[in-house]
Amino acid sequence: MTMAEDDPYRKTLLLYYEEEVMGEVYFSELAKHFEEEGAAEKLKLLAAVEGHAAKVVKPLLERHGLVPREDKELKALGASHVSAHRDLSWKDFVTYMVERYPAYIDDFEGLESLAPEEDLPRLKFLTEHEHAAIDFANRELEGQPDSIAPLVAYMEDPGPVA
């Protein structure tokens, strides 16, 4: 039994980190399947947001002695999820984000509730990336020309340094 398997916080932290790595690949690969103007660029920005969130959380893995699966495996898993959404229209995909992604906030806040105090700044930054994605999706559905603003703001924030 590894350290992550016997501790709900560590197990979930490791899983959520890995899902961010997978998410970066998922959005990057998904960008190849949408023809609507600007969609590919927006998906690449979403991929960058996932990567940024993972980078900010990674020191927590080191702090807790957690070792994620190999990048090659995580990337393959991320790419494998593309087939579920690649045939949607852009509007349907963004609607899916608006409907599904709020549940991820609940998941991230659940992780925060298990965390030691010193981990909270990085975990709150992780949660914030989901708020940015949902804000983007809502703006996109509304046709706002600045729909990417929440994603850009997230990318411009270096996150916690401690």
pLDDT for 21-59, tens place per residue?
999 999 999 999 998 999 999 999 999 999 999 999 999
Residue 48 lies inside a defined structural domain of this protein: yes
Residue 1 lies inside a defined structural domain of this protein: no
Residue 161 lies inside a defined structural domain of this protein: no
d(CA 69, CA 39): 30
Residue 69 lies inside a defined structural domain of this protein: yes
Cβ contact 20:54 at 8 Å: yes
Two structure tokens written together for 39: 């969609």
Indicate the pTM of the whole model.
0.94
Q: What's 51's domain CATH number? A: 1.20.1260.10
d(CA 102, CA 96): 11
What is the tally of structural domains in the chain? 1
Residue 67 makes CB contacts below 8 A (sequence gap 6+) with 61
Residue 162 lies inside a defined structural domain of this protein: no
- Show the domain range for 120: 8-156
Residue % of the chain over a pLDDT of 70: 96
Which pLDDT belongs to residue 21?
Answer: 97
Residue 3 lies inside a defined structural domain of this protein: no
**Average pLDDT of the chain to the nearest whole number:** 95
Per-residue model confidence as pLDDT tens digits over 109-136: 999 999 999 999 999 999 999 999 999 9
Q: Own/partner pairs for 117-122, CB < 8 Å, 24+ apart?
A: 119/13, 119/60, 119/63, 121/160, 121/162, 122/56, 122/57, 122/59, 122/60, 122/159, 122/160
Residue 102 lies inside a defined structural domain of this protein: yes
